[in-house]
Chains A and B, each alone.
Chain A
Amino acid sequence: METILSVRDLKKYFPVKAGLFRRSREVVKAVDGLSFDLRRGETLSLVGESGCGKSTVARLILRLIEPTQGRIMFEGRDITSFSRRAMRPLRPALQIIFQDPYSSLNPRLTVKDIIGEGLRRYQRLEAEQLRERILEIMEKVGLRPEHYQRHPHEFSGGQRQRIGVARSIVLNPKLVVADEPLSALDVSIQAQVLNLLAKLKKELGLSYLFISHDLSVVEYISDRIAVMYLGRIVELAPSDELYARPIHPYTQALFSAAPLPLVGRKKSRIILKGDVPSPLAPPPGCRFHTRCVHRQAVCSESSPPLEELEPGRWVACHFPLGDGRA
């Protein structure tokens, strides 16, 4: 199976502003050594709580921000140090859907302008062809032709998100990064957009990097899931296997904590102690050890690498659960 996106040891450190002349000494380690491959046609999800760095990953992959270290390969090309000009021809193939339907659309533009911006830049189309293409895409995402000249404020949150989806697919991308596309929507609308994303994936042969904090959604739409904690991946596995048998203690706690609309679920919940540490001062060794019930001495000393424990199941833990050693 062909790899469309490959990330190796990706790091992004943000310096903490320290005034006009002082050199800043503190850094926020938003992403701290991320590695994964995304295969053509698959949906890989990045899931994690606040501070885990998943939104930063989206921007790194799109090269909207500069990596501090590491490599990003898209369709076999190393785009890690690509300038904006170098990225330009790649843009149609690599698109993004944003989280906030209210700030991701320019309030002064119409649907036609928003979806058409990319078309006008990358394709030489006659006015009539442009119009047809836009209407075609609008229909695909469930918008009606009369929405063509309307402005964002005339739409609901769910419809705005559809406009955002339309914008992202109009240039026939290969990979779409979806950064929390459902988080700002009502539950019933989430289902609509989720169905739409699944349908488009099938119809257009898309690959998705799906970023979310919502485990149910992620489990539904993903082929594989990567669980992130404080800038690193702690576990990576096919989604059904991950749900059935989480190996990393954090993954276990995460799944156990996420409420499901089912009555009578066993209330043996794993309640983690403490809060997510700040990415300004991540704990030494294994990032998770401060909250881990199974921790031992080595956990605070050295950081476990992400290793393939079983075929397709990667875990970064000194004592992975269910491995017999815990």
Chain B
Amino acid sequence: MFLRRLLKNKMGLIGAGVILANILVALLAPYIATHDPLKIDITNQGALPSEENLFGTDEYGRDIFSRVIYGTRISLYISVLSVLVAATLGIILGSTAGYYGGWADNLIMRVVDAIMSFPAILLAIGIMAVLGGHIYNVVLALGFVYIPWFARVVRGSVLSIKEKEYIEASLAMGGNDLTVLFRHILPNCMAPVIVQATAALAYAILAESALSFLGLGAPPPAPSWGNILSDARNFMLDNALMTIFPGVAITLAVLGFNLLGDALRDLLDPRLK
């Protein structure tokens, strides 16, 4: 029944389709890419798109098409992992704050507020500057920066679900705090968390690109979309096309997650009333 409604939502389908395409590209990268994304060829710098190099080459002669294809892997990898980190920590913090209330709630939410008071990108930049460039550091940085989103959403859900009579019913049936939290409260919080996750995924892709563009993301020569964009900046006047390809890739991925997220929000919320 849920699937039927999803299928009726055109925007959601488009979003889901785009994401699916991204996932497939990431998985099948070795078969889709025409060249080795890291192979340098000085003789073929800055070439325009041709049959040989579908998107042209960059300043090191590397095939941009292959780089963009492999870049999908990095973007998805980083965004999914960092959202997982953020969601897990956010759920733990948010549910503790919401369920126990009192000083725990105050303490946790003030910490969360503190994190939120920094613009996400600046905070990520700061963390990366300290940790140094490495894929896992990007995951940690972004994972940290998005914790507040999940913590707040989960706390809100927990607060409202806590008051429901089926929670009292479980307590009256001898349930303890852990049972109530894991069996009754958290499963019912998942809808807003999922919606929040799709938004976070979109932002994470953008953030990763921004970090790489600034040289603080996945270290070169990794073909992350941000790196490709950064490299292309030097050539913008001669060959503007070089910037467009990674830009379009980023845009499509972000759009895909946003559309799917919107559709999920509409589908999940009223049903779970």
Contacts and interface: CB of A to CB of B under 8 A. Distances in A.
Direct contact of A and B (CB under 8 A): yes
6 nearest A-B residue pairs (beta carbon): A104-B165, A91-B174, A98-B165, A106-B166, A103-B164, A118-B173
A117 B172 contact: no
B255 to A, nearest CB: 31
Interface string A136-158: 00000000000000000000000
Given A106-B188, A108-B187, A88 B169 contact: no
A87 B171 CA distance: 10
Interface residues on B, range: 10 to 19
Contacts of B183: 117
Interface string B173-191: 1111000000110011000
Nearest to B185: A106
Contact of B173 (A99, A103, A105, A117): A117
Given A103-B164, A104-B164, A108-B187, 13 more contacts: A59-B168, A62-B172, A64-B168, A92-B174, A95-B172, A98-B168, A98-B169, A105-B169, A106-B166, A107-B188, A117-B175, A117-B183, A164-B169
B130 interface: no
Interface of A: 20, 59, 62, 64, 84, 87-88, 91-92, 95-96, 98-100, 103-108, 117-118, 121-122, 164, 167
A96 B174 contact: no
Interface of B: 106, 164-166, 168-176, 183-184, 187-188, 272
B165 A64 contact: no
Max count, chain A CB within 10 A of own CB: residue among B165, B184, B188: B165
Contact of A91 (B106, B168, B172, B184): B172
B44 to A, nearest CB: 58
24 contacts: A20-B106, A64-B168, A64-B171, A88-B174, A91-B172, A91-B174, A95-B172, A96-B168, A98-B165, A98-B169, A99-B165, A103-B166, A104-B166, A104-B168, A105-B169, A107-B188, A107-B272, A108-B188, A117-B170, A117-B183, A118-B173, A121-B175, A164-B169, A167-B173
